[in-house]
Structures are given as C-alpha cells and as structure tokens.
Copies of this chain bind each other. A is one copy, B any other.
Amino acid sequence: MKKIKVGIVGGSGYTGIELLRLLSQHPYAEIVTITSRSDAGTHVADMYPSLRKRVDLVFQDPKDAPLKECDVVFFATPHGVAMSMARELVANGVKVIDLAADFRLKDLEAFKKWYKMDHACPEMMEKAVYGQPETMREQMKDAMIFGMAGCYPTSIELGLLPLLELHKRIGDIVDIKQTIIADSKSGISGAGKKASVSNLCAEASDNFKAYGVGGHRHSPEIVQQLTEFAGEPVSLSFIPHLLPTIRGIFSTIYVQLTRKGQEVNFQKVYEERYANEPFVDVMPQGALPETRMVRGSNYVRIALYRKEPNFLIILVVEDNLVKGASGQAVQAMNIAFGLPETSGLEQIALVP
C-alpha cells in the first residue's frame, strides 16, 4: 500500500513530539517534513533523544518545507497559524488537520473574543469539520479541514454525548435549566512546553490547584457541542484544575436528571452508543477509571454513577496528548484516507 505523505508544522511542542511518536510507528504513513522556525536545521532526535534510532528527520524552516507535496499537514502550532496557511494547502489538494483552535468555533465573534484575533479564512469554516471521530465520522471522510477538539472538550463531550443525544431524541431527560458541572483535572503537559515559573517542577509537583476559574477558552467550544447534541441550549460550569501528573485528564461531570430521566438505564444507553467505537470504553457498573489506565494510549474510559436519584455522575479519563490531541488527529487522518481507523494507535496504556 502506498504510504500517506505527512507534514507536521510546529513540531517542537508536546503535541508535535506526540505526533512523531505515533506517526513514526504508523504502518501507512510517512513523515516527509517537519517544520520549526526556531529550530530549523536541528536534528529532531537531538531535541528529543527518545526518538534516537527511530526518527531521522531535520526540522525545516516552514518556507522551505514541501508542504504542498504532502497528502495531509498537521498543525501542532499556536492558535492562528493553521488558518493562515490552510487556504493555499487546500487549494493544492492537501488536507489540513489543526490541533489548535482555528477551526473549532463556528461563531467567529466568539473566536475573536477568546483568541484576540480575526479569523483569517472565514470562508473555509464551512468546509471545516470540528469534533471527534465519535461525533463526526461521516463528515470526516470527505473533509479537507479538521478542527480537532481540545483535550478538556473531548473528555466532556464524549462523556455527555449519549445522554444528550437521548435527551434530544426522546426529550426531557436532563433538567436543562440546571447547570451541568464539569470539574476537570489535567496533567501538566496540557500547559505545553514553554518556559514558565508556575509550571516549574518545584512549583507544580506535590501541589494541586484550580485555574481559569473566571473563564477558560475551552468553554465556548464545549457549550457549542453540548447544545448541538441536546438540540437546545445547555448551561455548563467548567472548572479546570491542575494535577501534579505529566499526562491525563479526569473529568467528573454532574448532571441533574428530570423525573423521566431518573427512569433511564444509562449504563445500557452508553454501552450501546459506544459499542462499535474502537477507542471508547464504557466501564462496567461499579468500576472506576484512573488516568493511568489510558496513559500513552488513545482510549477514553467512562464510568457512570447514581448516588442520589436525581443525579448522574459521569467519570471520564483520557490522555490529553493522545485522545485529547495527537492521537485523535491521527484517528481523523485514518478516517479521511480510508485507512483502518486504529492504524498507528494500538499502543496499550503504560501501567504501572
């Protein structure tokens, strides 16, 4: 089988090296170029010695890189880069997979408010698919532009999808007037690889804190999707916290049920909805997920709890750099090119 030619823009951050880890083991993909303006000329394996003996590439300056000759280009860049290059790439038949926020928010005013920039190619938004394979598989098959869901959003959206779809279908399951609470905790790699005092090991290890309590950029993206799932406006209180772990997201989600909703067997609803999903695991009743159960793998694991009759508690774990970012992007690529969906994503979580 001819291999897909892959380019990576912005390979020096954590989602970049994670793409390298996954794609260099991918049976049907070949990385032909990786760019980094600041590190052009550096051997990738000199920056990331974990790739020695496995990845033999040199960072190229973006202007020299043969991106237009690729079949697909991943953007592991800050917000704003992908949209500045998408038009030209797509015009050359190159698919664009953005791990940042450029193609996430349909409401361009909201985009401007949260990301402090105008959108560079609003006319491309219609061609862009936002979401996860589990929510947008069909649309991904023919799409040219992918706005991959963020790490927190994936955990919350997949955690609520079956519930809100059911609410939309049969109505009046969730007490929609009550705010859904998502108390989320993330490992520190979610903060990225840039020098900062607050993310120093001496500051962040053996510690736990909330942050972004006043408002987090991921909120509008999540509300947009939940509202779509539910078919009516959904209110969400999303509080992110910082874990002293390297990887992993754990979302504890609290939903108030209506009287009708209290009669539903949610365990069955979730198991059926995700029965054919290769990377979503609905754990059996009574089991409890842990972040290490997905460490380094593309799985999401979900457990459901009912303590008080009117409450559904949903526990979700994922690896923020895999299913929450680079793994999910590779999964989208597999779908977009008609490859087996699990190709290159079969790593089992590293336990212990």
Contact = CB atoms under 8 A, between A and B. Distances in A.
Interface of A: 14, 17, 21, 24-25, 48-54, 178-179, 181, 183, 185, 187-189, 191, 193-197, 199-211, 213-215, 235, 237, 239, 241, 243-248, 250, 252, 254, 256, 278, 281, 283, 286-297, 299, 301, 305, 307-308, 310-311, 313, 315, 321, 346-352
27 contacts: A14-B202, A24-B348, A49-B283, A50-B292, A50-B295, A50-B351, A52-B299, A52-B301, A178-B178, A179-B310, A185-B208, A193-B200, A195-B197, A201-B201, A201-B204, A202-B246, A202-B352, A206-B206, A208-B290, A209-B250, A213-B288, A237-B307, A237-B313, A239-B252, A241-B250, A241-B252, A347-B347
A139 to B, nearest CB: 25
Q: A interface, by DSSP: helix, strand, loop or mixed?
A: loop
In order of increasing CB-CB distance, the 8 nearest A-B pairs are A209-B290, A50-B349, A195-B195, A201-B204, A183-B183, A207-B292, A50-B351, A202-B352
A326 to B, nearest CB: 12
A188 B200 contact: yes
Contacts of A185: 185, 208, 241
Nearest to A22: B348
Copies in the complex: 4
Nearest to A292: B207
A99 B346 CA distance: 26
A52 B197 contact: no
Given A17-B351, A202-B193, A208-B290, A214 B49 contact: no
A252 B290 contact: no
A192 to B, nearest CB: 8
B52 A183 contact: no
Given A181-B183, A196-B200, A210-B315, 20 more contacts: A17-B352, A25-B348, A49-B293, A50-B350, A50-B351, A51-B348, A183-B252, A185-B208, A187-B202, A188-B201, A191-B202, A194-B197, A207-B248, A209-B250, A209-B291, A213-B305, A213-B315, A237-B308, A241-B250, A254-B254
A98 B21 CA distance: 31
A132 to B, nearest CB: 17
Contacts of A287: 49
B301 A254 contact: no
A202 B349 CA distance: 14
Contacts of A204: 201
A25 B179 CA distance: 43
A294 B208 CA distance: 11
